[in-house]
Amino acid sequence: MFMRRIVLIGGVCALGLATMSASAQAPKKNRPGASAIALGIRQHSDYLGAPNLPYGEGDLSYLVAYEYHEGNAYWQIGLGYTPHSTTTSTVEKVESVMTPQIHLLLKDRIFYGGLGLMRSYVRREESHWTDFVWQLQFGAHFPLSEAFDLQLAAYYLFEEWGDIGDFNTDNVELGMSLSYRY
């Protein structure tokens, strides 16, 4: 079991490095010290591996994020907002969810990927914070102009590092955002 996890993680890393090295140089708009503001939407799944998350199948979150680009990496600090959750993991109805998050992402010409950490504030009759959750994020940037990019991403969440090898495609989420680089 342990060896299978090591092989899976190694394979994902090797695939990511091969993809990144196959692309050309980053465009000038990805210059060091560049900043961006991103607005996005994300479709959640009903997490089989992380049952304490406040999302139901198909719930939508809206994201606003700040990005600071430096070399071949960037920090993304954002806030997700889910106005209505259909989760069935709680007895009480969830009114809304706010999720602060931070990611460190490595990038190449159009591809990017990395790791993030997030925690949700669940608003309901007895509001509370969830535990911290790790998130792998992989995607691609598609330039629309010199200042705007369309980003498509896949997200995989897990609560503990020991669970990362128990990959389940039902837990993969999809998202899209529009970023303005300045």
Q: Decide which of 155 and 1 is more confident.
A: 155
What's the Cα-to-Cα distance from 142 to each of 47, 83, 117, 162, rounded to whole Å? 29, 28, 25, 34
Mean pLDDT over 148-166 rounds to 87
Provide the pLDDT for residue 22: 38
Q: Residue 86's pLDDT is what?
A: 75
Q: How far apart are CA 103 and CA 112, in angstroms?
A: 12
Question: With 50 as the cut, is the pLDDT of residue 19 above it?
Answer: no
pLDDT in the model for residue 89? 58
**Per-residue pLDDT averaged across 108-125, rounded?**
91
- Whole-angstrom distance, CA of residue 172 vs CA of residue 152: 13
Higher pLDDT, 27 or 155: 155
Between CA 19 and CA 56 the distance in angstroms is: 33
Q: Which residue has the higher pLDDT, 41 or 32?
A: 41
Looking at the predicted structure, is the pLDDT value of residue 37 above 90? yes
Phi, psi of 142 (to 5 degrees): -120, 110
Please check whether the domain covering 2-181 is classified as CATH 2.40.160.20. yes
Confidence of residue 50 (pLDDT cuts 50, 70, 90): low
Residue 177 clears pLDDT 60, i.e. is over it: yes
Q: How confident is the model at residue 24 (pLDDT cuts 50, 70, 90)?
A: very low
Contact (Cβ atoms closer than 8 angstroms) between residue 60 and residue 23: no
Who wins on pLDDT, 74 or 163? 74
